[in-house]
Structure 1
């Protein structure tokens, strides 16, 4: 009897034990399921506490669904980074700081272009109005910077800053065409492009009509008659400076023109290293070039969108030597330059016709003068073509001035309690490569 009692007792104990284990499992499953049913609450709280930034520049939590939304922030796990390998360091304070009126935003250049720390400015003297920002290369100011600019030469995923604040703008910057940058890793990463192309978030051309006119005023280079007299006395026809000798298309064109008998003085490494004046953009540089009637503004790219460099803007227009344009499309040049201010190679069926026209202009000052009439706009702004007047050419504002103004506008939106504009480049590869002219990529 005692044996039977002990057996039954053990069975009851065993049943109770199983029941307890089942209860624990049930409670655990209930809690786990509840957690899964409320990801927007728990995950947003986790994000606000940890403030982790993923490779696409969005705030994320290690346990969130692929897309979760808050009033002001998009939360997203980057599909190529599910484990958070490229997640940045924690930032100390998620709460956005609203800067007071008159605050001076900071623009940090993360990678100096080709190692050169040019002194860029964005202040009322340079930009006009109340545009005023600090532009710096000091990475210690990362936390205080409203925009971080990455030059393409150093823009690599592993070279990014250790953390990213939600309100910071990231910009991809280049002044070079058709370079071999690998950009697929930067989908949904940059807020704005910063290039010479007019379809950029920040349009940063090498020059502009209004900038050239401003420089002419500052240099007091306003006398068209004196410029024409200098050319008459010199008897010089055309100049060309080039140091990249490997662009065969333009080298072949220049040689063809010279072989047809046009007088051309050559400079640069491709022609013995001969220098113009005391060096590029010195007073003597412009003085020397101004004695020529023409300058070969031959770019190292062919039909690259909006690619007009210093060869056109400064060696040509600014100096007073009429630019003969090759490389840029005529419609791209005509969109930003004064009418009749340049001669485009593609307006002629062959080199013979081009050379004959240049020789005609060299011997007919009345006809040649038409290509320089626009320079009188420097002293008489009322004569500027309507399409090129400053109020119609907001894009002529210097590029860092444009960026500074955007930062000021975003800070003002913060002060007024408004949402900031959503700015993102979904695909850098699509923008830089697929939206470029095929001739540029193949040339």
Structure 2
């Protein structure tokens, strides 16, 4: 009986060595992915400049917000923001009183409020500047001649095409400009962005979150759970190989603690910055606020890696597309968990950049004013809004 037991024990040792070698190979392969990204990041000198970073003359401009987003029609008006104090944009007169419609150089229409309820458009504008008495069809209101000369109608939307109902009904050159998270919008306002630090340093204090405070591995905060969404399907696959603590509503996660979302996520090494749908440039607060600002390494699911790299250094995040399976991604996360030096490399970008979180809705309002100040007089209209936004 002795020799067979010895052979069996030797077989177990060989199998353990085999599993260990496999895990090591996977870890090295995963590390290679990271090192490739880091090497590219070293060669990548700076983020592309934002369109409003160059100085420009600031002329007096009036911008009317037709509805305050998500407040409902008829809600009490809140005072407009001070663009100069908030964003160093002077010369802005922000309006909420519709009686001042004829004085506005631009009018902002929020899509979600535009799409729900009965049509609520400005009245057609006569040559005398008086509102016409006749009630015209919506199509008639859509013509460029139904508004004061030179006035721009701006379509504003921060939802993805998948969550923008009624988009295809907005036809007939209704709008002159678009304002959204899309980089090819007339007024580009992302959910967040990185901006250069004034005094970059090789060893700035407090930029890499202390690992001793990170008691958890992977966190995910989700407010709308839909089993048909790619993010939920991927979570089910990933959670089979690595523990994921889920926070949210609707019975699919524990409540966010009273300390708040940022303090909660800061205790984790990784955050699942999974978007509810995958579209061009649709990169929301899940990346900017929930992950980067909180101090967790983002694991992203959204547009492709190249799209993210237009706005974030490639060595600052992990993309699910970098791995052939959720199991391979889990192996890499566990590798980083066991190797603090490799994990800390994901915070090297903080030496040169800081995170700005877009303030809604005052910042888009002020950016629209700034865009009018810097725009020329060339007329423009959006002939097929849905075709542009859904592509």
The reply to whether TM is greater than 0.5 is: yes
The structure 2 residue matched to 1:145, chosen from 104, 110, 127, is: 104
Shift in Å, 1:133? 1.2
Shift in Å, 1:137? 2.6
The residue correspondences of 1:353-372 to structure 2 (distance < 5 A) are: 353-372=328-347
The structure 1 residue matched to 2:174, chosen from 185, 189, 193, is: 189
Specify the alignment match of 2:240 in structure 1: 259
Q: Are the counterparts in 1 of residues 224 and 249 from structure 2 also a CA contact under 8 Å?
A: yes
Specify the alignment match of 1:21 in structure 2: none
Specify the alignment match of 1:160 in structure 2: 121
Question: Is 1:429 equivalent to 2:386 in the alignment?
Answer: yes
Partner secondary structure for residue 314 of structure 2: coil
Structure 1: segments with no counterpart, 5+ residues: 1-100, 385-397, 414-419, 437-443
Specify the alignment match of 2:183 in structure 1: 198
Query: Bigger radius of gyration, 1 or 2?
Result: 1
Shift in Å, 1:309? 0.8
Distance in 2, Cα, partners of 1:404 & 1:222:
37
The structure 1 residue matched to 2:269, chosen from 293, 310, 324, is: 293
Question: Is 1:125 equivalent to 2:108 in the alignment?
Answer: no
The structure 1 residue matched to 2:281, chosen from 306, 314, 317, is: 306
Specify the alignment match of 2:34 in structure 1: none
Structure 2 CA distance for partners of 1:264 and 1:165, relative to 1, 3 Å: same
Partner secondary structure for residue 195 of structure 2: helix
Shift in Å, 1:102? 7.7
Shift in Å, 1:132? 3.4
RMSD: 3.1
Partner secondary structure for residue 298 of structure 2: strand
Shift in Å, 1:348? 0.3
Shift in Å, 1:425? 1.2
Shift in Å, 1:305? 0.6
Q: Are the counterparts in 1 of residues 230 and 277 from structure 2 also a CA contact under 8 Å?
A: no
Ranked by relative contact order (alpha carbons within 8 Å, sequence separation 6 or more), the top structure is 2
Q: Are the counterparts in 2 of residues 341 and 371 from structure 1 also a CA contact under 8 Å?
A: yes
Distance in 2, Cα, partners of 1:295 & 1:125:
33
1:56-94: CA deviation from partner (whole Å, max 9, x where unpaired): xxxxxxxxxxxxxxxxxxxxxxxxxxxxxxxxxxxxxxx
Structure 2 CA distance for partners of 1:409 and 1:353, relative to 1, 3 Å: closer
Q: Are the counterparts in 1 of residues 187 and 371 from structure 2 also a CA contact under 8 Å?
A: no
1:212-241: CA deviation from partner (whole Å, max 9, x where unpaired): x79xx9xxx95035x12xx33442111101
Structure 2 CA distance for partners of 1:375 and 1:409, relative to 1, 3 Å: closer
- Give the structure-2-normalised TM-score: 0.68
Structure 2 CA distance for partners of 1:119 and 1:300, relative to 1, 3 Å: farther
Q: Are the counterparts in 2 of residues 196 and 307 from structure 1 also a CA contact under 8 Å?
A: yes
Distance in 2, Cα, partners of 1:142 & 1:162:
9
Distance in 2, Cα, partners of 1:233 & 1:184:
51
